[in-house]
């Protein structure tokens, strides 16, 4: 375990991650990616038997749907939008002049109809609403996407673009809370196989501003979010590697998702921070995967 050394410096020195000059935007090495693949397969070995519908959204989403999701109300500080040049020859000349002159050229860019996905499940809900009422058994999805959050940091476990694998359950309150309990148990079992220290605790999302403090308190009081935390960058403040979220009827109401009995659907998701789990493994088992304990290697790669 890397205690004395600076974990981040070591990751870059050994080129497990490669610095690109922007905090939270490193390149991933082959060794790092092999851990991500192993962990991805381990997740499937726990969740695949439930026969979820597998969907892979691109890392950007429909801006109108993003606006309707309310993300800007809660997390304006994290969102990333995609802008592009949409001008004439004259505009192009202006842009190039500014660029060459070291001026701000980005005022020549216009917002497009796509934004970066902030979480793997955001693009899902409207596509489920389009299917009409849920079947009696509800629905279950398996998602994975690169997500963007504008939170640049020296902490290698806080990235601006990272992969989130998710299972999302949509159904009655009972179906959805059962799902979350199942995954709280499975999450512990799964991380035990990886032999890293962890704790599970109630948590809140980083809601913005003064109004956000109330939302965060409310989320905690109602125990709507749990996190599985592993010490990575610091032992005092362990890092959320898995999260277990119960949204109640928030997305069901927003998108008009109805159950078979024509009630508003409830939703829950379990999210796996792929890079964070990989980093937790490097932190606790060392920088060379060939030297990791045999049971951990077996859990990841069979
Ligand atoms: P945190 O409290 O650390 O900001 P979060 O509660 O906002 O995380 P979620 O919104 O629940 O995280 O996202 C699901 C999972 O995605 C988290 O459990 C975590 O593993 C991962 N994740 C979130 N933010 C980042 C990030 N900036 N870099 C890498 N992984 C992240
Ligand atoms: Zn989710």
Domain locations in the chain as residue ranges: 7-62+118-301
Q: How far is the CA of 250 from the centre of ligand 2 (A)?
A: 12
Mean pLDDT split into 10-residue runs, the chain, 302 residues: 74 97 98 98 98 98 97 96 96 96 94 98 98 98 98 96 98 98 98 98 92 91 95 92 97 98 98 98 98 98 96
126 lines ligand 1 (CB under 6 A): no
Ligand 1 pocket mutation, candidates 184, 273, 274, 281, criterion most atoms within 8 A of CB: 273
Nearest to 232 by CA among 163, 279, 296, 292: 279
Separation between Cα atoms, residue 160 and residue 26, nearest integer Å: 9
Question: Is 240 in contact with 187 (CB distance < 8 Å)?
Answer: no
pTM exceeds cut of 0.85? yes
Residue bearing the CA closest to ligand 1, atom 5: 205
Half-sphere exposure of residue 192: CA atoms within 13 angstroms, side-chain side: 8
So what's the pLDDT on residue 17? 98
So what's the pLDDT on residue 2? 54
So what's the pLDDT on residue 235? 81
143 lines ligand 1 (CB under 6 A): no
Separation between Cα atoms, residue 44 and residue 280, nearest integer Å: 19
Burial class of 159 by CB neighbour count within 10 A (0 to 12, 13 to 18, 19+): buried
Separation between Cα atoms, residue 288 and residue 87, nearest integer Å: 50
What's the full length of the chain, in residues? 302
**Who contacts 86 (Cβ-Cβ below 8 Å, separation ≥6)?**
110
So what's the pLDDT on residue 134? 98
Detail the DSSP E strand segments found in the chain. Answer: 17-18, 27-28, 53-55, 60-62, 81-85, 109-116, 139-148, 161-171, 199-202, 225-230, 239-248, 266-273
User: What top-level class would CATH report for the domain 7-62+118-301?
Assistant: alpha beta
Q: How far is the CA of 241 from the centre of ligand 1 (A)?
A: 7
120 lines ligand 1 (CB under 6 A): no
Residue bearing the CA closest to ligand 1, atom 30: 273
CA 214 to chain centre: 23
275 lines ligand 1 (CB under 6 A): yes
- The torsion angles phi and psi of 301, rounded to 5 degrees, stand at -125, 5
């Amino acid at each position: 375990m890397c205690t004395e050394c600076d974990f981040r410096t070591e990751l870059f020195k050994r080129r497990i991650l490669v610095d690109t000059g922007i905090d939270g935007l490193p390149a991933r090495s082959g060794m790092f990616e092999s851990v991500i693949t192993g962990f991805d397969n381990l997740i499937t070995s726990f969740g695949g038997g439930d026969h979820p519908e597998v969907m892979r959204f691109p890392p950007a989403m429909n801006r109108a749907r993003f606006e309707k999701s309310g993300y800007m109300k809660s997390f304006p500080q994290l969102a990333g939008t995609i802008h592009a040049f949409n001008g004439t020859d004259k505009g192009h000349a202006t842009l190039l002049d500014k660029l060459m002159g070291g001026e701000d050229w980005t005022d020549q860019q216009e917002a497009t109809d796509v934004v970066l996905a902030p979480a793997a499940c955001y693009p899902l809900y409207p596509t489920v609403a389009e299917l009409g009422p849920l079947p009696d058994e509800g629905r279950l999805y398996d998602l994975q996407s690169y997500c963007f959050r504008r939170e640049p940091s020296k902490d290698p476990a806080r990235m601006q673009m990272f992969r989130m694998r998710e299972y999302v359950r949509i159904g009655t309150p009972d179906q959805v809370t059962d799902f979350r309990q199942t995954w709280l148990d499975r999450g512990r079992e799964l991380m035990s196989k990886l032999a890293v220290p962890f704790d599970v605790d109630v948590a809140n999302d980083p809601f913005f501003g003064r109004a956000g403090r109330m939302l965060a308190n409310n989320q905690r009081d109602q125990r709507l979010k749990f996190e599985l935390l592993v010490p990575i960058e610091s032992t005092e403040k362990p890092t959320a590697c898995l999260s277990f979220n119960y949204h109640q009827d928030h997305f069901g109401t927003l998108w008009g998702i109805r159950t078979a009995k024509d009630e508003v659907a409830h939703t829950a998701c379990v999210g796996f921070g792929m890079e964070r789990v990989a980093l937790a493994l490097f932190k606790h088992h060392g920088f060379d995967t060939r030297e990791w304990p045999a049971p951990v290697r077996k859990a990841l790669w069979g």
